[in-house]
Amino acid sequence: MRPYLSFGLSLLTAVVLALVATRFFTDSFLFAIFHNLQLHLSAIGIVVAGIALVIRFNIFGVAVLGMATALFLHGFGLSERFAQDFAPQQGQPFRLLSFNVMSTNTANASSLVDEIVASGADVANIMEAPAVLPELPRLLATYPYRIGCGEKTKGCDLMMVSKYPLDGIVAGMGIMSQQRLIVAKAALPSGPVTVVAIHTTKPYFDSYHAEELQIATQFFNRIQGPFIVSGDFNASSIGPDMQDFLRNTGLRHAAFQPGTWPVGAGDWGVPIDHIYVKAPIGIKQVTRIADAHGSNHYGLIGDLILPPAP
The per-residue pLDDT string of the chain (310 residues; one tens digit each, 9 = 90 and over) reads 787 789 899 999 999 999 999 999 999 999 999 999 999 999 999 999 999 999 998 999 999 999 999 999 999 999 999 999 876 767 899 999 999 999 999 999 999 999 999 999 999 999 999 999 999 999 999 999 999 999 999 889 999 999 999 999 999 998 778 899 999 999 999 999 999 999 999 998 789 999 999 999 999 999 999 999 999 999 999 999 999 999 999 999 999 999 999 999 998 999 999 999 999 999 999 999 999 999 999 999 999 999 876 6
pLDDT at 30: 93
Q: CATH 3.60.10.10 residue ranges in the chain?
A: 92-306
The conformation of residue 202, written as its DSSP 8-state character, comes to P
d(CA 265, CA 51): 23
The DSSP-derived string for 133-188 is: GGGHHHHHHH--EEEBTTBS-SS-S-EEEESS-EEEEEE--STT-TT-EEEEEEEE
Instruction: Name the pTM for this structure.
Output: 0.95
* 3-class DSSP assignment, residue 298: coil
The Cα 295–Cα 288 span in angstroms is 13
Which CATH number does 92-306 carry?
3.60.10.10
Would you give the DSSP letter of residue 126?
E
- Provide the sign of the torsion angle of the four alpha carbons 199, 202, 207, 208, taken in this order: negative
Confirm if 231 and 260 have CB atoms less than 8 A apart: no
- The rounded distance, in Å, linking the Cα atoms of 181 and 169 is 8
Closest CA to 297 of 285, 289, 286: 289
Strands 123-127 and 273-277: unpaired
Phi and psi of 174, rounded to 5°?
125, 180
